[in-house]
């Protein structure tokens, strides 16, 4: 309670106020910086903080970081390929830690990529392949992309170091190659976009062989399978079922119950009901998950730079030079 003299009226001037005390005092709050208008004062405050920042030479406080709007794979790639040849590569940022998310293919060895239409599934697949290409020595990896979906035709452009196939017959031939590579110490990655397209394009024998390869868990062989929850949920046997069983992989661009079921995760209702933007989602491993923001693959020019470096046995420096060139 303030006690003011009877009949006293506070001046309506902005910044004018009263300070509790005996007696009560009238005050005028100072402005933080000079200037006739609010804009001039704001500019004055900015100048002042810049000067203070420049003058400060002591310890700095912890920096508050936020999730960037756009995450570029080129910013996450390690400066050189892994000399141990381990199949570990960054695919995006962990949303909670704001650190690069490195996925170890050995944690699969096979992975589901699911989510609603246009959620970012194919983008994740491309990002992952480019990242593996830049993270593993050229002579220690074989990367394959089987793209069967109709929209793939326009979206697809060659990825450096990735063999690209688009029909069932080519897949049959490719399985022969993969069978030879398995257990040889080379990392073979077969990325399939998507399950519906695969089932349409490949004949029964090819599907059976692929299923057997998946079940056999041959060392060095990894399968990344894109599929909607409806097609994955509808497969009670076969490749889709075998890969889904492990509950390992990504849900991108959504948090629908059916999509979460595919990976065996449950996200709190309050969070799930908010929805998930394109390219954001969850990386699940054995029913646990972390939130991720998937990195965008390099643009065509940067990919060309990578292609130019890859076959020349540039190996260990390809990624580093690409990052410098692209940054």
As a whole number of angstroms, the distance between CA 129 and CA 139 comes to 15
Nearer to ligand ATP, 123 or 187 (CB): 123
- The pattern of x and - marking residues 78 through 117 that bind Mg ion according to CB under 5 A reads ----------------------------------------
With contacts defined by CB under 5 A, name the span among 27-35, 69-77, 122-130, 166-174 that binds Mg ion.
122-130
Strands 221-226 and 187-193 come out as parallel
Nearer to ligand ATP, 272 or 278 (CB): 278
> At closest approach, how far in Å is the CB of 299 from ligand ATP?
11
Residue whose entry in the numeric block shows the structure tokens 């390809």: 318
Residue whose entry in the numeric block shows the structure tokens 């889709």: 240
Question: For binding to ligand ATP (CB under 6 A), which residues are involved?
Answer: 115, 117-123, 149, 151, 278-279, 294, 296
Residue 123 interacting entry, from Mg ion, ligand ATP, none, C-beta within 5 to 8 Å by type:
ligand ATP
Residue 296 interacting entry, from ligand ATP, Mg ion, none, C-beta within 5 to 8 Å by type:
ligand ATP
- E runs forming strands in 159-299: 162-165, 187-193, 221-226, 248-252, 280-285, 288-294
Distances in Å between the alpha carbon of 188 and those of 45, 86, 115, 244, 279?
Answer: 58, 12, 25, 20, 25
With binding defined as CB under 5 A, does residue 122 bind Mg ion? yes
Nearer to ligand ATP, 121 or 247 (CB): 121
Half-sphere exposure of 247 (CA within 13 A, CB side): 11
Residue 14 interacting entry, from Mg ion, ligand ATP, none, C-beta within 5 to 8 Å by type:
none
> At closest approach, how far in Å is the CB of 245 from ligand ATP?
22
> At closest approach, how far in Å is the CB of 138 from ligand ATP?
26
> At closest approach, how far in Å is the CB of 47 from ligand ATP?
37
> At closest approach, how far in Å is the CB of 214 from Mg ion?
21
Residue 162 interacting entry, from Mg ion, ligand ATP, none, C-beta within 5 to 8 Å by type:
none
Nearer to Mg ion, 187 or 231 (CB): 231
DSSP 8-state symbol, 9: -
DSSP 8-state symbol, 35: -
Residue 5 interacting entry, from ligand ATP, Mg ion, none, C-beta within 5 to 8 Å by type:
none
With binding defined as CB under 5 A, does residue 123 bind Mg ion? no
Under 8 Å between Cβ of 131 and 90: yes
Residue 206 interacting entry, from Mg ion, ligand ATP, none, C-beta within 5 to 8 Å by type:
none
> At closest approach, how far in Å is the CB of 147 from ligand ATP?
10
Under 8 Å between Cβ of 123 and 298: no
As a whole number of angstroms, the distance between CA 168 and CA 242 comes to 20
Radius of gyration from C-alpha coordinates of the chain: 28
Per-residue 3-state assignment (H helix, E strand, C coil) for 263-285: HCCCCCHHHHCCCCCCCEEEEEE
The residue ranges that bind Mg ion (CB under 5 A) are 122
């Amino acid at each position: 309670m303030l006690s003011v003299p009877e009949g006293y009226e506070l001046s309506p001037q902005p910044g004018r106020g009263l300070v509790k005390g005996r007696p009560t005092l009238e005050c005028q709050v100072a402005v933080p910086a000079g200037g006739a208008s609010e804009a001039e004062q704001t500019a004055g405050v900015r100048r002042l903080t810049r000067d203070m920042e420049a003058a400060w030479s002591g310890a700095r406080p912890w920096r508050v970081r936020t999730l960037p709007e756009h995450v570029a794979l080129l910013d996450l790639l390690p400066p050189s390929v892994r000399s141990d040849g381990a199949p570990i590569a960054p695919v995006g940022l962990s949303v909670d830690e704001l650190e690069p998310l490195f996925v170890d293919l050995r944690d699969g060895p096979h992975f589901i990529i699911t989510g609603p239409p246009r959620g970012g599934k194919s983008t994740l697949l491309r990002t992952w392949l480019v990242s593996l290409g830049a993270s593993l020595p050229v002579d220690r990896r074989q990367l394959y992309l089987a793209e069967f979906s109709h929209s793939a035709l326009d979206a697809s452009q060659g990825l450096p170091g990735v063999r690209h196939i688009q029909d069932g017959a080519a897949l049959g031939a490719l399985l022969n190659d993969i069978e030879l590579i398995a257990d040889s110490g080379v990392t073979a990655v077969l990325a399939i976009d998507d399950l519906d397209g695969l089932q349409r394009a490949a004949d029964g024998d090819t599907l059976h062989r692929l299923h057997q390869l998946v079940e056999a868990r041959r060392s060095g062989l990894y399968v990344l399978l894109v599929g909607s929850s409806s097609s994955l949920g509808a497969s009670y046997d076969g490749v889709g079922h075998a890969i889904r069983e492990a509950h390992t992989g990504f849900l991108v661009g959504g948090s629908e119950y059916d999509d979460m079921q595919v990976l065996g995760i449950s996200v709190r209702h309050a969070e799930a009901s908010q929805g998930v933007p394109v390219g954001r989602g969850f990386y699940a491993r054995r029913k646990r998950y972390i939130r991720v923001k998937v990195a965008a693959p390099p643009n065509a020019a940067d990919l060309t730079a990578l292609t130019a470096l890859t076959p020349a046995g540039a190996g260990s420096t390809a990624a580093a030079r690409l990052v410098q060139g692209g940054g």
